[in-house]
């Protein structure tokens, strides 16, 4: 490899730890959001849930409530879209060393790098899936609350 290629390789390796950290944070956020979602679903099923949409917005205008819905679902949307990209990055970074190890007939080196690659992408996809599920249902719940609030205002 040329010096330029080695430099590119070394720079890309610097991103592995931060990307893996962001994947773990995304997974933790997804699990917490899913737990909160399940608790809210149980409350809604038991009819003990009290809508809070109209109480938390700056003003009860419909536009402000829509902004509040966007605010409440923003991180779910970000994680559900960014986590798969982080998983792809975390998969591609170890693939270079895995291919080099394959060229040297180093099966252990290939396996070590592929374990990191595939574990990272699996965790990232789980995080994205959890967040997307919560986002989809919570958006419907909040839009239903908005519609009820608008009907009350008429």
Assess contact for 25 and 13: CB atoms under 8 A. Answer: no
pTM across the whole model: 0.89
Domain boundaries, the chain: 18-44+53-153
Per-residue tens of pLDDT for the chain, all 154 residues? 789 988 988 899 999 999 999 999 999 999 999 999 999 999 999 999 988 886 765 567 788 889 999 999 999 999 999 999 999 999 999 998 898 899 999 999 999 999 999 999 999 999 999 999 999 999 999 999 999 888 887 7
């Amino acid at each position: 490899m040329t010096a330029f290629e080695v430099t590119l390789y070394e720079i890309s390796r610097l991103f592995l730890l931060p990307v893996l950290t962001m994947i773990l944070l995304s997974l933790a956020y997804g699990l917490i959001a899913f737990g909160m979602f399940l608790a809210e679903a149980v409350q809604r099923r038991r009819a003990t849930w009290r809508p809070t949409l109209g109480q938390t917005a700056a003003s009860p205008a419909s536009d402000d409530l829509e902004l509040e819905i966007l605010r409440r679902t923003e991180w779910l949307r970000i994680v559900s879209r960014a986590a798969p990209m982080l998983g792809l990055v975390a998969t591609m970074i170890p693939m270079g060393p895995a291919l080099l190890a394959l060229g040297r007939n180093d099966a252990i080196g290939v396996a070590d790098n592929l374990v990191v690659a595939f574990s990272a992408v699996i965790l990232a996809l789980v995080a994205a899936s959890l967040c997307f599920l919560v986002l989809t249902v919570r958006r419907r719940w909040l839009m239903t609350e908005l519609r009820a609030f608008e009907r009350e205002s008429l």
